Chain A
């Protein structure tokens, strides 16, 4: 079974609009962490945001926020006020357990921002 599922292979959003990228996860651990990374066409992986399973509030980092719904096992990334530079692949990832753990990635969503 997939541990991380990203069901949107591609998305379009108008510049300055908000967009939500979906991510659902599967784990039996009580302690885990969820990450979002951005991969522009240049290929590097850029960390965006982190949410811990015990965090009571949704994480926010500038224009990025994570809509964490623990009961539904979803960790959607919300990008507000989209910019052309947001066009990229976005990966959701999960670390299970505490301390050192392996990180599992989803298959990614390609976001294109339209002027």
Chain B
């Protein structure tokens, strides 16, 4: 079982560069989301999607873009990287419903210099 797969695991970007963090799940989950994890701040929601073609902003969406063309994939795009975007990024997926926990990818450690 692959579960939720994130690539890459590590990335270093220069300020101003753009890149896409990939996230794929093979569990046919409707709901997918992106979080960033910073020391002392827990996980903060960036963007989420309730199904193909439907996305919405979370708590900290600025500087990030998402799309959901298929159920399986939910890429996160950094439009113009800034040092403040240095963080660990997690993709998660779940079924919709009250008792469904999120399944997380392994995380992507991004450093912007």
Q: Chain A interface (Cβ within 8 Å of chain B)? A: 4, 6, 9, 31, 33, 35, 43-45, 47, 50, 52, 91, 93, 95, 98-100, 102-108
Contact present for A31 and B98 (CB under 8 Å): yes
Contact A43/B99 with A100-B31, A103-B45 known, Cβ cut-off 8 Å: no
Contact present for A107 and B41 (CB under 8 Å): yes
Cβ of A33: which chain B residues have Cβ within 8 Å of it? Answer: 98-99
CB distance from B13 to the nearest CB of A (A): 20
CA distance A43 to B104 in the complex (A): 10
Q: Please, what's the 1-or-0 string for B92-111, where 1 marks a CB less than 8 Å from any CB in chain A?
A: 10001111011110110000
Cβ of A4: which chain B residues have Cβ within 8 Å of it? Answer: 42
Q: Which of B42-63 contact A (CB under 8 A)?
A: 42-45, 48, 50, 58-59
A-B pairs with CB below 8 Å: how many? 55
Which 5 pairs, one residue from A and one from B, show the smallest C-beta to C-beta distance? Answer: A45-B104, A47-B101, A100-B96, A105-B43, A107-B42
Contact present for A91 and B43 (CB under 8 Å): yes
- Nearest opposing residue in chain B for A36, CB measure: B101
Cβ of B26: which chain A residues have Cβ within 8 Å of it? Answer: none
- Nearest opposing residue in chain B for A106, CB measure: B42
B90 at interface by CB-CB < 8 Å: yes
Contact present for B99 and A103 (CB under 8 Å): no
Contact A43/B107 with A99-B96, A100-B96, A105-B35 known, Cβ cut-off 8 Å: yes
- In the complex, 24 of the A-B residue pairs with CB atoms within 8 angstroms, ordered by the A residue number, are A9-B40, A33-B98, A33-B99, A43-B88, A43-B106, A44-B104, A45-B90, A45-B104, A47-B102, A47-B103, A52-B98, A91-B42, A98-B98, A99-B96, A100-B96, A102-B33, A102-B45, A102-B58, A103-B45, A104-B59, A105-B35, A105-B43, A106-B42, A107-B40
CB distance from B3 to the nearest CB of A (A): 10
Contact A100/B50 with A43-B107, A44-B107 known, Cβ cut-off 8 Å: yes
Choose one: A6, A31, A102; the contact of B48 (CB below 8 Å): A102
Cβ of A9: which chain B residues have Cβ within 8 Å of it? Answer: 40
CA distance A102 to B46 in the complex (A): 11
Cβ of B41: which chain A residues have Cβ within 8 Å of it? Answer: 107
